[in-house]
Structure 1
Amino acid sequence: MVGSSHEALHRIFQKDPALLTRALQHVLRIPFPEPREFAAMNVDLTEIEPVERRVDTLLRANTDEGAYLLVVESQGKPDERKRGSWPYYLSYLHEKYRCEPVLIVITQNSATARWAAEPIHLGVRGCPSLTVRPFVLGPDNVPVIADEREAERDVPLAVLSAMTHGRGPGAAAILESLAAALRTIDADTAAAFVQFVDSCLGDPQAQQMWRDLMTAMQYFFRHPLAEQVREEGRVEGREEGREEGREEGRAQERADTILRNLLWRRIDVPDSVRGRVLSCTDMDELGTWLDRSYQVTDAEDLFAEDRT
């Protein structure tokens, strides 16, 4: 015996499943395709075993209009499984916290950005029951910040710019501007930003340039990544036979960095320049040349006496 209107409203469709699709087609005017057959399924959606589901970042933003949940996903490449898990995340979070969830996808790849921005439609083709529209931050819409003053005005945005665009010939100006801007904020926050950028730079040359820039910043030496950079430098020095003393090894390492920067920036290095740099043991002079190696357009300009 049917005990309630609630039960009756769904039991009728168990009795005649075709009624449900006819209602969609003729009452709601939804172009639902004609079913070939029906199969009863277990109505219990309880998960017997815990299923681990994690988002990359989840933040609650309280505003005058109410609270929002910001769901941030970092996506390296298209993954069709996300088109099922993202709607699940949003529905689950809305049910659990009774806040409006907002899905934000961050990527460094334009093709992935286009894929992630495609709406996710669940239900009848052309008339879905659920549509999820991710907001995507990627190389096509995150601004390129390659100016020091602009980076100082919004350091976190400059960090995002470096994380998104930090590759190719244009990376030098972006990373240099950010490095200068990091000096204007507190050391602990800057160190965290340093590690974010380091983790996102997939281009080995860009990552090495970033580490060279950061090694020159004194506060950075107090943080784990700096120790990692120094250890890598020591290992590299041992492998290349630079064990003739700590000071000599540091000079050789700095000279190599100067030449590597020029090479990475596609600046031709004559033998005369290479020889002068490699033979120098004056750390102050090498430091000056290192700073210039990020800016000059001609290798000979490393030695210009009138540069500051």
Structure 2
Amino acid sequence: MSGGSAEQPAPVVRPAVWETYGPADLSAVPVFAGGFINFGFWKSVDLERPLSQGDRIRSEQDLYRHVLDAAAPAGGRAVEIGCGLGLGCALALDEYGPAAMTGVDIHPQQLQRAREANSAHLEAQPQRLRFALGAAESLPLGDAEFDSLFSVEAAQHFPDLSAFAREAARVLRPGGRVAVASFFTVDGAPSHAERLAGLLDSFASGLDIARPVSRLADALGEAGFADVEVASIGAQVWPGWDRWLARLWKPGTWPRNFLAAWEQQILDYYLVTATRP
């Protein structure tokens, strides 16, 4: 291995990210039932009836399935960037059949939780699953080591999307696929950063970074990727997410403003895919 495979210093974690995914342990918050830490893909859930915890967990799993369908990890070596508790890595192993699965996260406490949550997989399949500490912009991985790279609801935290795109190109083999799902500002939305900071505490605190989705698409193209595609999946994310939030948060509280930001065409949820030539 070469490039990023050399031993690297521990990555610098932004304060808001360190607190949220470390001491605060977002995975333990009831709104993220099941521990996947994503807003969910609600296409297969009936939103006209009361939602159950099973519905919520299914939505989180289905978001992973939607991304994994695009990443096509079957039979190859796959890596998830921003793996959190590693439950998406386990789902990929169980349902998509990659030859090997690596989860990368910037937070050491998250990786410890991931190893604990996936102890059975690690003991039963030590050659197929591993976790590594690293930043999206400086991956501790070898050149051309993977056939697919995916990331689910983590890119909103990445400080440098161009560096991430270059690293994705470096660690993927020719023909490798990248699939990124996250929320970005809508291209052309005026004063998006200021408007989002006024609506949503996660943007005001600096936890989430306001950038147009074209920033990621352009970065992938500049890094040499081909067939870059951007698809809005907001209609399958925001209404269901708000219905789930309504169980725990009253109207007018800031988490309910994700739906408002989408309706005002400031923010949307996207799946961005590309292929390394």
TM-score by length of 1: 0.26
Q: Which has the higher helix share?
A: 1
Greater Rg by CA:
1
Q: Which has the higher strand share?
A: 2
TM-score by length of 2: 0.28
